[in-house]
Amino acid sequence: MREQRTLFDLTQDGLVIGQKLQRIYPEFDVTAFVSDVRMEMEGQTIYNVTKAIGRVLRQHLPQNYSDALAILMAFVEIEAPPEPRRHPTPKIETRLRPIAHFVSLYGLADFDASLDAFYELSKHRCTRGGEIRAFIIEDPNRCFERFGEWVKDENVNLRLFVAASLCTRGTWQKWLRPYIPDPQPILALLDTLKDDPDASVREQVATDMRDIVKDYPEAGYTTLERWRQDGRTETQKILRQALKYQVKIGDERAFKLLGMGAVPKLGKANIMLTELKPERHVLPINDVFNFSLSLQSDSDAEQTILTYYAVAYKRPTGHITRKRYRLSQRRLKPRQRVDYEKSLFPLPSLKQHEAGKACLGWHRFEVEVNGDVLGGFDFEVTALKDRKV
What pLDDT was estimated at residue 171?
64
Q: How far apart are CA 311 and CA 254, in angstroms?
A: 28
Residues of the chain with pLDDT under 70: 1-11, 43-47, 171-172, 351-357, 384-389
What pLDDT was estimated at residue 175?
84
What pLDDT was estimated at residue 40?
81
Q: Write phi, then psi, for 12 (nearest 5 degrees).
A: -65, -35
State the DSSP code for 332: E
What pLDDT was estimated at residue 83?
87
What are the domain boundaries of the chain?
7-257, 271-382
In the CATH hierarchy, which top-level class contains the domain 7-257?
A: mainly alpha
Q: How far apart are CA 331 and CA 174, in angstroms?
A: 39
Q: How far apart are CA 31 and CA 20, in angstroms?
A: 13
What pLDDT was estimated at residue 173?
72
Determine contact, residues 180/140, Cβ cutoff 8 Å: yes
State the DSSP code for 369: E
> So what's the architecture of 271-382 in CATH?
Sandwich (2.60)
What pLDDT was estimated at residue 285?
83
Determine contact, residues 227/187, Cβ cutoff 8 Å: no
What pLDDT was estimated at residue 96?
92
Phi-psi group of 371: left, alpha or beta (phi > 0 → left; psi -120 to 50 → alpha; rest → beta): left
Sheet holding 271-278, edge to edge: 271-278, 289-297, 337-344
What pLDDT was estimated at residue 1?
39
Q: How far apart are CA 115 and CA 165, in angstroms?
A: 13
What pTM, to 2 d.p., does this model score?
0.75
